[in-house]
């Protein structure tokens, strides 16, 4: 097993979700399967009803188009969060995590690490995932959540804002993500990064494989304080 030693100055582990803690296939399948009915279209019922129906249909079509392109807009992700809330509340949905995630996070917290989430998905959606998982309610394992309201994940300033919000230096943070553009932005802010390679994730170029520290499981991280 490959082991990546966590720098001694790291006190915070910042986690992406899609492709890092959770399979991409799960996230995309749930986004798509719960879209129908998210924006109801009323039947024509009076003057102007046809225009109203056309307008609502245009909104639905636009949402579908944005989701097909995997847009990371804050408004879209908030809408997806509302859709997920109904599905989770009805018990039709349980969040799936890679099997190494929960044991590793528990170990990190026992070692004194703080664990935060940074995802393009809304904070509401993040909390739904961690609160309704196949492992049960694991929200207690997370110290806080960030979404694109603090900034986009491919902008280095977002990571400086996160560090400021947490109350630490950027070099006290280790960010785990499967997206190299996000890793690059974090590095520009002096954040430590490791790129997570999971089944179903986008492939990496040879240069990316050489440049970045890679892990295939959270269990490959070694904390200096670990015994």
In whole angstroms, give the CA distance from residue 68 to residue 60: 12
- The reply to whether 157 sits in an annotated binding site is no
In whole angstroms, give the CA distance from residue 196 to residue 222: 15
CA-CA distances (angstroms) from residue 155 to 47, 67, 72, 99? 48, 21, 13, 30
CA-CA distances (angstroms) from residue 206 to 62, 211, 220? 37, 9, 21
- The reply to whether 178 sits in an annotated binding site is yes
- The reply to whether 120 sits in an annotated binding site is yes
In whole angstroms, give the CA distance from residue 87 to residue 63: 18
- The reply to whether 18 sits in an annotated binding site is yes
Tokens of 22: 């959770």
| Binding positions for Mg(2+) | 16, 18, 178
| Binding positions | 16, 18, 119-120, 153, 178
| Binding positions for substrate | 119-120, 153
């Amino acid at each position: 097993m490959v082991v990546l030693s966590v720098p001694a100055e790291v006190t915070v582990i910042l986690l992406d979700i899609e492709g890092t803690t959770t399979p991409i296939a799960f996230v995309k399948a749930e986004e798509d399967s719960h879209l129908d009915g998210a924006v109801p279209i009323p039947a024509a019922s009076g003057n102007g009803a046809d225009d109203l129906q056309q307008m609502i249909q245009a909104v639905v079509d636009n949402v579908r188009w944005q989701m097909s392109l995997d847009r990371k807009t804050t408004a879209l992700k908030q809408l997806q969060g509302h859709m997920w809330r109904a599905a989770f509340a009805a018990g039709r949905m349980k969040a799936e995590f890679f099997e190494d995630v929960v044991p590793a996070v528990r170990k990190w917290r026992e070692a004194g690490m703080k664990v935060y989430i940074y995802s393009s998905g809304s904070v509401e959606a993040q909390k739904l995932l961690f609160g309704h998982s196949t492992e049960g309610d694991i929200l207690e394992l997370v110290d806080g959540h960030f979404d694109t309201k603090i900034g986009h994940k491919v902008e280095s300033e977002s990571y400086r804002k996160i560090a400021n919000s947490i109350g630490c230096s950027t070099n006290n943070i280790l960010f785990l993500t499967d997206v190299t553009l996000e890793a690059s932005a974090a590095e520009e802010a002096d954040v430590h990064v490791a790129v997570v390679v999971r089944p179903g994730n986008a492939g990496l170029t040879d240069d990316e494989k050489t440049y970045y520290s890679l892990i295939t499981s959270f269990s490959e991280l070694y904390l200096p304080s670990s015994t």
